[in-house]
A and B are shown apart, each in its own frame.
Chain A
Amino acid sequence: MAVKVLEVELSEELDPIPVSDAYDSFRILIRVKRQPVGWLSIPSPGEPFITVAQLHYEIQKQVSWHVVSEVFANLFRINDNNFPVPAEFISVIVCTRNRTTLLARCLNSLLNLHYNNFEIIVVDNAPSNVETYQLVRTFDVRYIREDRPGLDWARNRGIEEAKYDLIAFTDDDVSVDAYWLASIVKEFMNPRVMAVTGYVAPAYLETPAQTLFELSYGGMGHGFYRRVIKNDHISEHDLIRASNFGIGANMAFRKQVFDKVGKFDVALDVGTPSSGAGDIEIFHRIVINGLMLVYEPSILVWHSHRESIAALRKQILNNGRSFGCYLITCYNKSTVRKKSLLKFLIFTWFYRWNLKNMVKSHLPKNLTLVEMYGMLTSPFAYRKSQAHARKVADM
């Protein structure tokens, strides 16, 4: 059940799309002057091409509202699509561990950016071999080795090494859109913006695990509506639900943010028993401290989802576990009222996400169970992570 992932830019003349037997449907990201506005699903027709007329017809049927809204926004100059002159310098940090094929793709996409003034820092996190080093040497990028295991250690090391005041993070299993950095810098032209996140689209939907994750579980995207998040106008409930603010594979900060709110929590994220949520936790901390965070879908990267069901199951387990660890962190740091946390835990997380998924969603029941299991074991994971963090810190 492979799905071909494509993107179509509506501001250019469309071409017919060739159809191959390997895919039984198409999932096409529709963009209007580079702004992504929605997904189009077309089953493979029996003919060798999807004609331009068919494509327009499907666009009209499926995403007309979003397309027209975006054109209106352009027409009325509400959302201009001019990019800034690349004057700002920015550091791009890629943390990686033993995944050279993916990393190569990632670095290639970074070197094809429509932006000039940036440096790339690859942070090799406790590598078990020298492959990453050898690969990175072939590119014109900085290589840094961080031996303390844990993604957040690597991220913090990247921050220390970064030369510039703007720092963008992406993962090694991601390939970035050509306008990724330009879009990020554009947001930072507003001096009040302290952090930005963006849309994460699936790079491939070749295996059942990938389609399951993207189409049934919900994937990594957070919608095509721009959002400005600041604590003077969002509820405590939404503050806790920081997983909605963005994701670590596609985020950028001003360096001064880390002076104000501290760096990433080293007891969290991949490489520790909590196995995630370092990104969510820092978004939460940024907003709690009254800083402005912007989610802008035109900041776009393409993520390669896990290929096997086993890996997917592990990822979903980690999602449950890490979100639990994040909630416990919030509880211990008293960033929000305990009452709201408890209410969130019971009504939103347990009831609305898990129980309802159990009954309604297309997701296989065992995956939901796995996530619940992760959630329930999170207190133990949290404790272990704390111990782990102390131990590593002493290294």
Chain B
Amino acid sequence: MPTAILNIDFDNVPTQITGLTAYTQAFILLRYKGKPLGKTVIPVSEGCIVVKDHYNHLLNAAGGNLWNQWLFEYLDWNEADLIRDFVPPKATVAVCTRNRTEDLNRCLDALMQMPDDGQEFLVIDNCPSSDDTRNLVKLYNRVRYVLESRPGLNIARNRALTEAKNEVVAFTDDDATPDINWLRSMVRNFNNSLVKCVTGLTLPLELETDGQEAFEKYSPFGKGFRRIVHSGQSRNPLSTGEVGAGANMALHRSLLHDIGYFDEALDAGTITHSGGDHEYFARVLIAGYHIVYEPEALSWHRHRRTLEETRKAIYGYGVGVYAFWTRLLVVERELNILKFPWNWFRYTQFPNLIKSITRRPGSQPLNLVLAELKGCIIGPSSYLKARKISKSKNTNS
């Protein structure tokens, strides 16, 4: 049941959207003059959507955000320009990639569309098996190519942080396509000296296959359409799943001095598969800094296409979460983390499991739920192993 991905901007609404014969429904991002307001799903009838037939639904989904944007326009009120004498910091955009030139090509094309605010572009090629990425990057003369031969996404991120010339480093994954206003929306949030990290809204680029539908349903990246300031006071700094994701984040480089580097025993490319971003967010919050979730920093993520890849990704999340909790316990001595596994199991995983076993409407596929649980069980030992491996490598080199 493929889903079309569409944008509707209220500033210029089409009467009809045609050519959707392959789809039964459409995922719609609602915008006003480019700013994201909300999302919704509407049915496709006879390969076409007549916008008028759904207008009550669309306006309800856009909700109060539309009111606000319209009012701001009337009042000539600019939310981004409230701070006296604030000049947004310059940024470096870093793309960590490995052997995915098709995705990287799309990502770089999108990045080149952005207005030039003096930003720098970096591609960190992480332990590539061929020269394809290097050759692709040569086509973009504004992009600097950096080879990082040690495998691991967090290693590549650390490399990006040290290579970057500007104050702020904005990370995007190679399989993501940032919106044209992505970077500007990110950097303008560094207007408070306690904000050292900004995350953005990530939506699916395509929902063509069952695998992608399952992924979007199981772990959607989007965290809503309201700006949120997260701090150690406003939430438990150890629970960072809702803060955002590494595919769409910007960090202030002073964090390197304050809380150090990404943990090289975590995330893709190691046996822990993921969790590097959430672990870093936790350290940011523990240190007393704030993380802003900015929905206007919009990026489109291409999910894994096959069900098998999706299952592996969900398994990887299971491993990653437990691996990063293990780090918090072992390295940061955060005893509070001990209650997290139980809470997660009791209030989310177990009910999900029961729902999928009894096949209740809206339940998740059983194999995904089980894959995540399996990952959780393996997580702690994976982390300890990965830590040993990464330590021995560091001493060897």
Contacts and interface: CB of A to CB of B under 8 A. Distances in A.
- A–B contact at 8 Å CB threshold (below): yes
Q: How large is the interface on A (under 10, 10 to 19, 20 to 34, 35 or more residues)?
A: 20 to 34
Given A78-B13, A228-B45, A72 B24 contact: no
Contacts of A230: 45-46
B34 to A, nearest CB: 15
A226 interface: yes
Contacts of A233: 24-25, 43-45
A79 B13 CA distance: 11
Interface residues of B, number: 22
Contact of A69 (B13, B46, B51, B60): B60
A78 B13 CA distance: 7
A76 B56 contact: no
B367 to A, nearest CB: 26
A225 B60 CA distance: 11
A215 interface: no
A158 to B, nearest CB: 29
A259 interface: no
Interface string A220-253: 0000111110101100000000000000000000
A225 B13 contact: no
Interface string B48-84: 0011110111111000001100100000000000000
A288 to B, nearest CB: 16
Interface in B1-36: 10-11, 13, 24-25
A79 B46 contact: no
Interface in B249-299: none
Interface of A: 68-69, 72-73, 76-79, 190, 192, 224-228, 230, 232-233, 292, 294
Contacts of B52: 78-79, 226
Nearest to B9: A76
Nearest to A232: B45
B66 A72 contact: yes
Contacts of A192: 46
Interface string B372-389: 000000000000000000
A339 B51 CA distance: 35
A61 to B, nearest CB: 16
Contacts, number: 48
B13 A72 contact: no
A292 B43 CA distance: 14
A226 B45 contact: no
A228 B53 contact: yes
Contact of B11 (A76, A79, A190, A226): A76
Given A69-B59, A69-B60, A76 B10 contact: yes
Nearest to B67: A68
A227 B25 CA distance: 16
14 contacts: A72-B59, A73-B55, A73-B59, A76-B10, A78-B51, A78-B55, A79-B52, A79-B55, A192-B46, A226-B56, A228-B45, A230-B45, A232-B43, A233-B45
A47 B44 CA distance: 53
Contacts of A72: 10, 59, 66, 70
Nearest to A37: B56
A228 B43 CA distance: 11
Contacts of A224: 56
Contacts of B13: 76-78
A175 to B, nearest CB: 26
B53 A226 contact: yes
A76 B37 CA distance: 15
Contacts of B56: 69, 224-226
Contacts of A76: 10-11, 13
Nearest to B25: A233
Given A77-B13, A192-B46, A233-B45, A226 B55 contact: yes
Contacts of A79: 52, 55
